[in-house]
Structure 1
């Protein structure tokens, strides 16, 4: 990958990747090849990112490697070329990145895709296919953010000292955020997050216990971030890493970290201060951050299905890309059909190749109520045989995916919501009912080991 992105010497290149870990690996490789390289991602110290952006803006023959941090809002000067390693996850991201080029008079917008993993080729082709069709993801706020309803009620009590139990709506008018305010307010009173003095409500003991640290600082910010260790080289802040990135204490001398594209030997970890002291290390290291399943949209997955059925975006493909795409279509032909969605019967149950995205699959699984063996963006594997009539009769109108209790606990301000309402609040973020409805309404082609029946 490093040699490929070192192409176009003499030009100013911006390389986008989808993960911090891969951006670190690529930056290290490019520097090993003698390429002047800068790096920007969300776990680098702000000053390190700004220093990279300033240096890149002033340089000429160089590369800056970035995640979505450089999609918009940061001035890095004129660019000659954008290189996308693997595929972005949305058309909107693709357009933002493409728009980084072609700003100089006489130049054109351009992007080179470099696909390094098998499953990324049809995904990249699907992004380009949607772009050609004029599709861009709509901007939609998270549905029913009831945890913020609770936060707003508590914040007013903190700000004003108290507020009237029967005139609280005057603070927000008809703002949809407060549609479930009565239910949330009642819970806050019942659980002593709010204490009553006649008709007045004020901060109660449960709010003090859950949110009172550092002068209610937690109550005054409406988002959470992953807990990361601060990495220091002497007094210089390099960035932040997940505790998962640290090698065992016995291996710290042989397994360095990589951060900001350089190797670092871990000298000491202060868990009380959550600080890692490091020293430069000439050997390549490793780093990682926590991540969960990536939910791709219904539209993107259906476009990927179109690609596997033969649709090809009208862009220039290399000979290797054409050969790889043909191979993918041959390998995956049992998972797609031009006339219907495919069900593959297996000894343990049925695989529904929905090509609908993880949210739609999870929503449809909840509507079916059948045991789920596994699911991804492409398919839903069910335990046992679910009939076609069961699939068609699935009622997705009120279906919400099952949510792990630990995920609910991680939702900020969830403690200030009734447990069932907190779970539903989070579940609705992972719900795609229109996509699930299309699964239920689809025509199906059932394949067994012997062939189509």
Structure 2
């Protein structure tokens, strides 16, 4: 008896279309290995590089199970972090489901009311959506959530690492546990991801209440082992080059001159920089498109469609295009400065090299010294085959508060002592009693004969637009919609709209890579009206939120670079010269065996090379000898001038035994959504835990310290 082939495991109709409609002679290794476990109902995390066939590896076995077991109504949810990614996937999944006489549909914030009504009348078999939209369905008074979602059997979570690393991940898990209770069966959970440093931890996190009760596996055939030991075989494949250009305008000059005739994707890590480089490229006659979160949906769609259809052009984007959105046949990726993580870099370089006989490639353009060092350090880690482990955000108490309020909207009555059953023992909810007590005490919830219902304070704070604020776990800063006629261009910071000084002329905005003259502002409706500017340069500005800088590992990799380690990539002459200058400038600030304290011009600096979060932790721990008002950096802390070797030795030995979490200010608390629904001390503890790097701080405190006395 012969062993079954991969096509034998597929439903016959599906196998026919894979072979004949798609023209695939066989499945890829990931797709073959995922078939049997997923058809059998196992949880899994599927790992493969960008464009590695992960979607089909998840969808084909679940469609086979759907057909074999006669699943009906909405039985599979396909969850993505970005609406644009869902839009991009819909035609493909409609094709796959259509082969079996099944359907797929889309539900997110940009989907029209008419389209949603069609879904409610005739539910699809596969629903593509976001966690926020699932929440909105559960709490809506116009959606029968039990009828629509009560038959869900499996959930595919695309780009699962992107969820796991922030609060949307906890929100997603909490919503999946509520769906589990609605359907009265454990949901099969399948995560899709590129390479991560700790895939088994990621699987356990994704399983939630399934962990230990349901089989789960990491499936990653052909994915290189993520380990420094792999560095003996050389860096990962790819043509990577590091250049130093010194300014955004110089970066635009280089981009305009290189790779003419090719399609180039330029990544920046701020919207302001996207706008600035986009405008500079357009001024040089380059066909350029922009994509970032403050551009209107139509503007981004136009840019992405035009870019996909063009050849000699550039699209400048933030991380909105890092994830698997298809922008056509890409030739080059260019990175301005460096992304925050090696994982992001792997996503970005993975956009290239998809055609036969082409190689993955990325050109780094550093705008300043810190950008150069950050890029060099990141590429050093990449060369060591190191990728960040994905860690869920710690102590998500505000998500517990949000979920308690959302459940009280979802269910007419929730038992005051039975509410924990909705989350099936999910970790954050096992310690939710103090949060519930606060919600009751402050009137966010009220108790009626032992049943929880939404209280007047929740109505006052979150009741606008039928509690729409409760469906999202992030606070968006107030922005004004920018309109040219009736066409929405995007959104801008209201600080740019204040009246111009006499003689300054009209206020000019930079948006979508163009300058616009403000012709009117509707402050009440948060709108501003613009016309194309005939002359002058507009300004772009958005609130960036909390930026935590380098990780401990990246800061130490930068220290290695300053000590002489070159990243395993091509360095231009400009990059070599700039690195040489940086090494000379920091020669007294780095030491291979520990940290350095320097005294120069009466100022004492402790060069930790520990990253922002560790240095924030150290500032709090060493409050008696650290300048409390200083802006904490990745590289060093300022100490009081009376610290000598003897005192330092005693202080740091004691401090290593009593690490203190960073202090939290009111501005930071305001940025944590649902803070009002938490006791202040619990909100402060939540934020402090997120700002801290206890392990990095302890490492810095226990390392030898070298004193260097300057002039």
What TM-score results when the alignment is normalised by the length of structure 2?
0.61
Of 144, 155, 160, 2:395 maps to 144
1:215 equivalenced with 2:470 (yes/no): no
Q: Which residue number in structure 2 is paired with residue 276 of structure 1? A: 528
Q: Which residue number in structure 2 is paired with residue 383 of structure 1? A: 640
Q: Is the 2:506–2:518 Cα contact (8 Å) retained in structure 1?
A: no
Moved more, 187-196 or 97-106: 187-196
1:200 equivalenced with 2:451 (yes/no): yes
Distance verdict in 2 for CA 1:22–1:307, change over 3 Å: same
Q: Distance in 1 between matches of 2:498 and 2:455?
A: 44
1:38 equivalenced with 2:289 (yes/no): yes
* SS, match of residue 400 in structure 1: coil
* SS, match of residue 280 in structure 2: helix
Provide structure 1 residue ranges, at least 5 long, that are not aligned to the other structure.
Answer: none
Q: 1:285 deviation in Å?
A: 1.6
Q: 1:79 deviation in Å?
A: 1.2
* SS, match of residue 570 in structure 2: coil
Q: Which residue number in structure 2 is paired with residue 296 of structure 1? A: 550
Q: Which residue number in structure 2 is paired with residue 354 of structure 1? A: 608
Q: Which residue number in structure 2 is paired with residue 107 of structure 1? A: 358
Q: Which residue number in structure 1 is paired with residue 587 of structure 2? A: 333
Q: 1:411 deviation in Å?
A: 1.4
Moved more, 82-91 or 208-217: 208-217
Q: Is the 2:483–2:528 Cα contact (8 Å) retained in structure 1?
A: yes
Distance verdict in 2 for CA 1:32–1:394, change over 3 Å: same
Q: Is the 1:38–1:56 Cα contact (8 Å) retained in structure 2?
A: yes
What pairs up with 1:360-371 in 2 under 5 angstroms? 360-370=614-624, 371=626
* SS, match of residue 571 in structure 2: coil
Provide structure 2 residue ranges, at least 5 long, that are not aligned to the other structure.
Answer: 1-250
Q: Which residue number in structure 2 is paired with residue 88 of structure 1? A: 339
CA RMSD of aligned residues (A): 1.8
Q: 1:54 deviation in Å?
A: 0.6
What pairs up with 1:89-238 in 2 under 5 angstroms? 89-238=340-489
Q: Distance in 2 between matches of 1:219 and 1:319?
A: 53
* SS, match of residue 334 in structure 1: coil
Q: Which residue number in structure 2 is paired with residue 433 of structure 1? A: 694
Q: Which residue number in structure 2 is paired with residue 264 of structure 1? A: 516
Q: Is the 1:258–1:287 Cα contact (8 Å) retained in structure 2?
A: yes
Q: Distance in 1 between matches of 2:600 and 2:649?
A: 16
Q: Distance in 2 between matches of 1:53 and 1:231?
A: 20
Q: Is the 1:3–1:30 Cα contact (8 Å) retained in structure 2?
A: yes
Q: 1:10 deviation in Å?
A: 1.0
Q: Is the 2:307–2:327 Cα contact (8 Å) retained in structure 1?
A: yes
Deviation digits for residues 102-128 of structure 1 (CA, Å, limit 9, x no counterpart): 001110011111112122111111111
* SS, match of residue 104 in structure 1: coil
Moved more, 280-289 or 121-130: 280-289
What pairs up with 1:47-62 in 2 under 5 angstroms? 47-62=298-313
Q: Distance in 1 between matches of 2:665 and 2:356?
A: 53
Q: 1:293 deviation in Å?
A: 4.0
